[in-house]
Amino acid sequence: MLDTIGSAAGVVWKFLDENGASSVSKLTKETALDTKLVQRAIGWLAAEGKLKFDIKGRTEIVSLT
């Protein structure tokens, strides 16, 4: 499972690097990853200090630090 989460973290990081800040729902849609897997990947990257989070209205925006 850790390999799967690590790979998903790589996909999420690459998407954010190429496309900039994104909502979690857009990350899920555009990467075609399962919602739970995207959340785990975000947790992985956040624990490594690679993400920052902002709130715009009712939407949480994720971006690389």
For 21-61, what is each residue's pLDDT tens digit? 999 999 999 999 999 999 999 999 999 999 999 999 999 99
Three-state DSSP at 52 gives strand
| Number of domains, the chain | 1
For residue 1, name the pLDDT band (cuts at 50, 70, 90): confident
- Quote the CA–CA distance of 59 and 53 in Å, as a whole number: 10
* Mean pLDDT in residue range 2-28: 95
CATH of the domain at 17: 1.10.10.10
User: What pLDDT is recorded for position 3?
Assistant: 86
Q: Count the Cβ atoms, other than its own, within 10 Å of residue 31.
A: 18
Sheet bearing 22-23, strands edge to edge = 22-23, 59-64, 51-56
Rounded to whole angstroms, the Cα distance separating 21 from 50 reads: 13
Residue span of the structural domain in which 26 resides: 2-64
